[in-house]
Amino acid sequence: MSEITDIFETLEYGPAPEATGPVDAWLDRHDRRFSHWIGGEWRAPSGGDRFETANPASGRSLAAVAQGGEADVDAAVAAARAAQPAWRALSGHARARYLYAIARRLQRDARFFAVLETLDNGKPIREARDVDVPLVARHFYHHAGWAQLLSAELPGQVPVGVVGQIIPWNFPLLMLAWKVAPALAAGNTVVLKPAEFTSLTALAFAELTKAVGLPDGVCNVVTGDGRTGAALAAHPDVNKIAFTGSTEVGRILREATAGSGKKLSLELGGKSPFLVYEDADLDSVVEGVVDAIWFNQGQVCCAGSRILAQEGIADRLVEKLKARMETLRIGDPLDKAVDIGAIVAPVQLERIRTLVEKGREEGAELWQPSWSCPEEGWFYPPTLLTRVEPASTVARVEIFGPVVTLMTFRTPAESVELANDTRYGLAASIWTENINLALDVAPKVKAGTVWINCTNLFDAASGFGGYRESGFGREGGLEGMWEYVRPAWEEYASEAPPAVTRAAPPPGEGGEAGVVAGAIPAAEEEDDAATPDVPPVDRTAKMYVGGKQARPDAPYTIEVRAPDGSLVGEVGRGSRKDIRNAVEAARRAQPKWAAATAHNRAQVLYYLAENLAPRGAELAARIDAMTGGGRAAAEAEVEASLARLFLYAGLADKWDGRVHHTPFRNVTLAMPEPLGVIGAACPTEAPLLGFVSTVIPAVAMGNAVVAVPSERWPLAATDLYQVLDTSDLPGGVVNIVTGGRDELAQVLAAHDDVDGVWYFGTREGSAAVERLSVGNLKRTWTDLGRPRDWHDPVQGEGDEFLRRCTQVKNVWVPYGE
């Protein structure tokens, strides 16, 4: 045994570089000078600017690429817009044929693309050839299927329109595939901006689309740096931005698109935990670490960059890791026997050096193999940092290089705590031979992908994307398709003239307490002293926080008036402090509520309906008194609310996940999980139905909610306190804060312990919520002031509501020996 090991250890490889002939010929054919790809042809940059793209293994220039300016982006968006109606009008089958043709062609030209990718990015040819390019082809094959199946699998949906796509440099062609394939499958046209360090494979891909006859303008490529990306994100005729890259830029894009109506998906950074329990197979773990952090030089958003090892095995693991690191081969990425290639650019190399230096200053112990890196080019050795404190920079900041930290834990509970001690939530890897432990930890780790006894596995059939500040939206699988469609009814609604007229904010309130929606006469001034002809009000409805009625923090009240001006009642005017208290209560209640069985949650919702029914007449009278819409309409609203409670009770244990067909020996469990704490600004109209329609789906899925009921007619919600009390709903799962919708929604949007905000109100209110959500990148769902018919089952209930309050976690479970 030891002899064989010796042989492997001393085995010397001769250099075996991959030939670059066809790529050189292609570059030369273009005079090593590229333009944008717009409307199916090359277009010189409007400003004439170009910049060099280099080979990281040598530092030498490969070619000059165009720097896109506003005029270039404008031309590309115009080309995409012009092409979109015809592309959308094609049958799903016709679009499937194009995607299939792209996949075939990519496979045919696989070697060319792999070599070009390695030259421009610096990644080992073995990875470009065996991982990147095969996954690219697989992505187009998979999405040819979605094009064909779209109308059957995503009924009632239409394409978003023109999509702007901005991608990073770490997997240039693969990120292109993740973006372009689903967009085209769904009937969108695209403008793609590759990263400035790695534009070449996108430009070669553009030529490929021409070769397979893709209609001009369906897929456009504009090259350039962040300024080009910013111009694309700001373009008024773009309907969606799909971004992969840093969390910093993700935040910029969240703010830049706020209120614009652009759909947004963000795939951002990570600091993914790699959990090793004491019964793990340590030899497999070591190979896992190699794949987790030295794959692609660690320039992987989901890299397992934080090893968390159980105390008993930590020292042994470190020894084994060091031995393995010593055998890693770094060097010419075109060499088929090389494990680690070059870092994409000097600026990234500098960032890695600076962060590692900072780690040492903060007390970490550094270990690197004894061999040295090539002199030429931008290389960094595999690096292990031990004695790392959870609070130190290298344990918190994404290094995006071949650097892994190691920390220890004692118990599984402590491992989960450490794993989640990060703002990110992209991926996690769990290593143990105990399947019970693995499947217990998997749901507790906040991450979009969890790999059990494996790591860095990707497939087109499985959605990929983040929790928390790793972004939102999924790429791949059915989950990913939802990012490129929108409900058909929205399109008709946005084309129709506004069905609802909006009244001006009450004078003297600066609009703060609310723009009132609905085709109803405006309310009287709020601060109007009670007029003598109004009967005295007996009580002011309180807030509902943590399962108890709570006096508002500030002694201000809001009068609720009927359309004829008569006073119906009063509610407290909620403040920042009331929201904070409610969020705390929701946070405390949520884990237990989520852990309750779906059957239990359903039972509570049925019970709520049961307790609400006998109060129906009273509630209908209240609704009628507030809205003046007539008794029959009010009774219909109560009836519809009861039906909706039943609907979500029914769905609570039926909205489940899938098992994806990923082509490894594993099952991939796509599990919808609740977001956590959701703030909900309920619609003004339909005071009871609007409240039930927004709060109940979120509760059914295991979220806790802080609801701001109808600003103008809040009494339908405050009348529910007793019903909530008697329905076995745990305190804190539903909290109600009355007051100014926009003011309170904005407090919720800015609150860093809120995971999602739903807002139904005005366009300006929507914009503010989206802009303020940037702190923790919470998920938002806003109506942009587009009225929704809450009685219509297509608009007022169903899957969209459930998708909006859940996020999919994909758990990869291998099988076989």
Q: Which stretches of the chain bind ligand NAD, using CB under 6 A?
A: 166-170, 193, 195-196, 225-226, 229-230, 233, 244-246, 249, 252, 267-269, 301, 351, 398, 400
252 binds, among ligand NAD, Mn ion, none (CB under 5 to 8 A by kind): ligand NAD
Report if residue 117 touches Mn ion, rule: CB under 5 A: no
Binding of residue 711 to Mn ion (CB under 5 A): no
User: Distance (Å, rounded) from C-alpha 467 to C-alpha 419?
Assistant: 13
277 near Mn ion (CB under 5 A): no
Nearer to ligand NAD, 300 or 619 (CB): 300
CB of 341 to ligand NAD, least distance (A): 16
Q: CA–CA separation, 678 vs 689, rounded Å? A: 18
The residue with tokens 């609720």 is 560
Give, rounded to a whole angstrom, the gap between the first and last alpha carbons of the chain. Answer: 22
Which of Mn ion, ligand NAD, none is residue 739 near (CB under 5 to 8 Å by kind)? none
Residue choice 109, 117, 120, 742 for contact with Mn ion (CB under 5 A): 120
Element spanning 480, H or E = helix 477-481
Applying the rule CB under 5 A, the residues between 637 and 666 that interact with Mn ion are none
Cα atoms in the 13 Å half-sphere on the side-chain side of 756: 28
The site partner of 400 among Mn ion, ligand NAD, none (C-beta below 5 to 8 Å per kind) is ligand NAD
Residue nearest to ligand NAD (CB): 229
Q: Which does 233 bind (CB under 5 to 8 A by kind): ligand NAD, Mn ion, none?
A: ligand NAD
Q: Which of these, 404, 421, 416, lies nearest to 450 by C-alpha position?
A: 416
Shortest distance in whole angstroms from residue 466 CB to ligand NAD: 9
Question: Is 368 a binder of Mn ion (CB under 5 A)?
Answer: no
| Contacts of residue 272, Cβ cutoff 8 Å, sequence gap at least 6 | 302, 303, 304, 305, 306, 424, 426, 427, 428, 429, 447
Angle between helices 92-108 and 172-185 (to 10 degrees): 160
CB of 54 to Mn ion, least distance (A): 5
Task: Report which DSSP code applies to 333.
Answer: T
225 binds, among ligand NAD, Mn ion, none (CB under 5 to 8 A by kind): ligand NAD
Indicate which residue of 267, 483, 673, 770 is catalytic: 267
Residue 53 interacting entry, from Mn ion, ligand NAD, none, C-beta within 5 to 8 Å by type = Mn ion
Pairing of β 41-43 and β 50-54 = unpaired
Is-contact 153 208, C-beta < 8 A? no
Residue 770 binding: pick among ligand NAD, Mn ion, none (C-beta 5-8 Å cut-off by kind): none
By beta-carbon proximity to ligand NAD, the closer residue of 270 and 709 is 270
Cβ 775 to ligand NAD shortest distance, Å:
18
The dihedral built from the CA positions of residue 375, 379, 384 and 387, taken in this order, carries a sign that is: positive
CA 793 – CA 253 distance, rounded (Å): 33
Type of residue at 273:
P
CA–CA distance, 710 with 523 (Å, rounded to integer): 13
CB 70, min distance to Mn ion, A: 25
DSSP-derived pairing of the beta strands 756-759 and 677-681: parallel
Check if 301 is active-site.
yes
Counting contacts by CB under 5 A, is residue 755 touching Mn ion? no
Chosen residue from 27, 37, 53, 404 binding Mn ion by CB under 5 A: 53
Amino acid at 26: W
171: contact with Mn ion by CB under 5 A:
no
Identity of the residue, 267 or 553, whose beta carbon is nearer to ligand NAD in the bound complex:
267
The nearer residue to ligand NAD, 349 or 744, going by C-beta atoms, is 349
Of residues 219, 301, 302, 682, which has the active-site annotation? Answer: 301
Q: Classify burial at 444, counting beta carbons within 10 Å of its beta carbon; exposed 0-12, middle 13-18, buried 19 or more.
A: middle
DSSP code per residue over 704-758? EEEEE--SS-THHHHTTHHHHHTTTPPTTSEEE--S-HHHHHHHHHH-TT--EEE
Closest approach, Cβ 398 to ligand NAD, in A, equals 4
CB of 170 to Mn ion, least distance (A): 12
Q: Which of residues 777-796 bind Mn ion (CB under 5 A)?
A: none
Shortest reach from residue 753's CB to ligand NAD, in Å? 24
The residue (of 188 and 244) whose beta carbon lies closer to ligand NAD is 244
Taking the least distance from each CB to Mn ion, the nearer of 123 and 263 is 123
Instruction: Give whichever of 333 and 739 is closer to Mn ion, judged by the CB atom.
Output: 333
AA identity, residue 297:
Q
Q: Which amino acid is present at 265?
A: S
Task: Tell me how far apart the 2 most distant CA atoms of the chain are, in Å.
Answer: 102
Residue whose CB is less far from ligand NAD, 161 or 172: 172
User: Which amino acids are annotated catalytic?
Assistant: 267, 301
> Where on the chain is the footprint of Mn ion (CB under 5 A)?
53-54, 120, 197
